[in-house]
Structure formats: structure tokens, C-alpha cells
Amino acid sequence: MPSNVLVAYGTTNGSTAEIAEAVAAVLRKQGLAAEALPARSVTSVSPYDAVVVGGGLYAGRWHKDARRFVRRHGRSLAGRPVWFFSSGPLDASASERDIPPVPGVRRAMDKLDVAEHVTFGGRLVEGAKGRIARMILRSGKGGDFRDFDVIEVWAARVAKELIDGQKNR
Ligand SMILES: Cc1cc2nc3c(=O)[nH]c(=O)nc-3n(C[C@H](O)[C@H](O)[C@H](O)COP(=O)(O)O)c2cc1C
């Protein structure tokens, strides 16, 4: 049974980090060892049996730290069970339907043979970095659209698949 899970994330404004922490907490609750770390701080995935990679969405792309992480560790990831998630939509759409991965993430999934991806709602609130972020906020389109119940259900399913060995390669 894979026991040590890395949840690596790319974030600018912290909301994807909180999702990653929530995922890791569920995995631990299910009896696995799991830690959430900024993707840019991970030097090797070899201590881990399985990896979850999450990134905030920016202009139709995964956060650059998540993109770099999969590029840098591609070979190691290809030999492990891997799940991807994205976080972005600043509306209820992610709670209402499955939102497919953006094209760059789809390509990474194909390359690494990653079967599963989920899009969670995003968050943009006062204090966010960047001119465009401030413009979005000024136009009244900010808010927190993350649904932690949905996130926890997804994480529990990841744990179950790992524990059942369905994703062992
Ligand atoms: C400049 C900018 C561009 C964004 N582009 C997208 C996008 O293309 N698709 C999307 O779903 N969300 C987009 N968002 C929303 C973010 O993905 C959302 O705020 C997310 O939760 C940010 O994650 P973070 O807090 O971990 O950085 C954008 C937000 C900003 C500020």
C-alpha cells in the first residue's frame, strides 16, 4: 500500500495552498502519511509513493510552479500514482459541473498517463497580488468559490484508491 503521499501545489494568492492542505489532512485522516508542500520547494519526489499536484489557474494555464514541477519530475511521476487538480473559476461553475483540464494540463496528463483531474472553484479576495486581480475585484467578481466538502470527498476517494491499490503500478 502506498503510504507516503506528496501534495505539491502552485499558488500565487494562497488559496490553492489551502486546498492542498485540506487534501493532505483527509489523506492523513484515512491513515496515510501525507504532506502538502509548495511545488517549487520540492527537490525530489523519490521519498513519496504517490503524488497529488494542484495549481491555481492563471490566464488559461496552470500556475507556473505546478507546470515546472511536472516538467522537472516527469520521469519520477510517470512511475507513480498521480492525481491532478486545478483551482480557478470565480463562480459556482466548478460546483455545478465537471470542468475539464486546460489544454496544457491535459497534455501533461497524457504524457504522464495521469488518469484523474478535477477542477475546484477558486478564490480571489482583497489583498490579491497583481493589477488584473485588482481589476477583477473592483468589478465585483471576487469571492471564495472553493467548496471544501467537495474537496474532502475527492481527497477521500484518492485515499481509498491508494489504500485499495487500484492505482498501484
Ligand atoms: C490574473 C488572473 C487570471 C486568472 N485566470 C483564470 C483562468 O484563466 N481560469 C480560471 O478558472 N481562473 C482564473 N483566475 C482565478 C484564479 O485561478 C483563482 O483566484 C485561484 O483561486 C487562484 O489560486 P491561488 O490563490 O492559489 O493563486 C485568475 C485570477 C487572476 C488574478
Protein residue with its CA nearest to atom 12 in ligand 1:
88
The CA distance from 103 to 73, in Å, is 19
β-pairing, 50-58 vs 4-10, is: parallel
Helices 64-72 and 103-112 pack at an angle, to 10 degrees, of 20
pLDDT at res. 2: 57
Pocket of ligand 1 (CB under 6 A): 11-16, 56-60, 87-90, 122-124, 128, 130, 132-133, 136
Give the atom of ligand 1 at the shortest distance from the alpha carbon of 55.
26
Q: What is the average pLDDT value for the chain, to the nearest integer?
A: 95
pLDDT at res. 105: 98
Q: Is the pTM of this model over 0.95?
A: yes
Residue-range domains of the chain with CATH? 4-164 (3.40.50.360)
Tens of each residue's pLDDT in the chain, 169 residues: 558 999 999 999 999 999 999 999 999 999 999 999 999 999 999 999 999 999 999 999 999 999 999 999 999 999 999 999 999 999 999 999 999 999 999 999 999 999 899 999 999 999 999 999 999 999 999 999 999 999 999 999 999 999 998 554 4
Give the atom of ligand 1 at the shortest distance from the alpha carbon of 122.
21
If you measure from the C-alpha of residue 67 to the centroid of ligand 1, how many angstroms do you get, rounded to a whole number? Answer: 15
The CA distance from 161 to 155, in Å, is 10
pLDDT at res. 168: 47
Contact (Cβ atoms closer than 8 angstroms) between residue 129 and residue 137: no
Give the atom of ligand 1 at the shortest distance from the alpha carbon of 63.
27
pLDDT at res. 3: 84
Opening angle at CA 148, ends 57 and 84, nearest 5: 45
